[in-house]
Every structure is written in C-alpha cells, then in structure tokens.
C-alpha cells in the first residue's frame, strides 16, 4: 500500500513536471520522492516478515528471513545512498553559486 501510494503520487508529480518542463531537477525531485516511499515500503515489508516468522518459526523460515533481510537491507542501503546523492544534487542546483571574491 505504501509503495502503491507513493508511486501514484510520484506519477502525478512526474506528469506535472513533464508538462511544465522544469528540467532535470524536477525529475530528480520526483525520483527522490518515489525513492523515499520505496525505502519506507521495504522497511515495512521486512518488519512484516520478521513478525510472521516470530509467530511459528522453523529453521527453513529463519533461513529465508535471513536471506530476505540481507537482500532488503542491501537494497535499502543503496537506495538511501542514491536518495542522498540526488538530494545533494537538487539542493546544490537550487542554491546560487558562491562568489569567489572575498571582501566586502
């Protein structure tokens, strides 16, 4: 539900950016928005898997949970790095360039 809601809102934002032609920064902002929802959705899915396994764990389920947790943690890590990189790009582009001349 979280990923679906984020994707739906991001699609609307994508259409708005595409029609208004904000340039690359508009699309990067949409990617950041969607990325946050994807990261949140991955965290909720992992929590659901942990709770499901905690009820009646077998060694097979524990092994599967460990594999799923490892994969989702890696995905979340790289997604978070990408979000931070894009956020810095957007923030850097929205600021005026610093003047090289000191003094006043």
- pLDDT digits 0-9 by tens, 11-21: 998 888 888 87
Residue 77: CB partners within 8 Å, gap ≥ 6?
none
- pLDDT digits 0-9 by tens, 34-83: 888 888 888 888 888 788 777 777 888 888 888 888 888 888 888 888 88
**Which pLDDT value is given to residue 95?**
58
Phi/psi at 28 (5° precision): -65, -40
Is the overall model pTM greater than 0.75, yes or no?
Answer: no
Contact 69, 46 (CB under 8 A): yes
Q: Tally the residues of the chain.
A: 104
* 75, burial (CB in 10 Å: exposed 0-12, middle 13-18, buried 19+): middle
């Amino acid at each position: 539900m979280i990923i679906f809601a984020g994707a739906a809102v991001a699609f609307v934002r994508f259409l708005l950016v595409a029609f208004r032609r904000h340039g690359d920064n508009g699309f990067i902002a949409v990617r950041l928005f969607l990325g946050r929802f994807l990261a949140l959705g991955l965290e909720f899915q992992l929590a659901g898997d942990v709770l499901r396994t905690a009820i009646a764990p077998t060694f097979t389920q524990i092994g599967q949970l460990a594999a799923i947790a490892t994969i989702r943690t890696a995905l979340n890590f790289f997604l978070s790095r990408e979000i931070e990189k894009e956020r810095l790009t957007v923030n850097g582009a929205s600021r005026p360039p610093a003047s090289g001349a000191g003094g006043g």
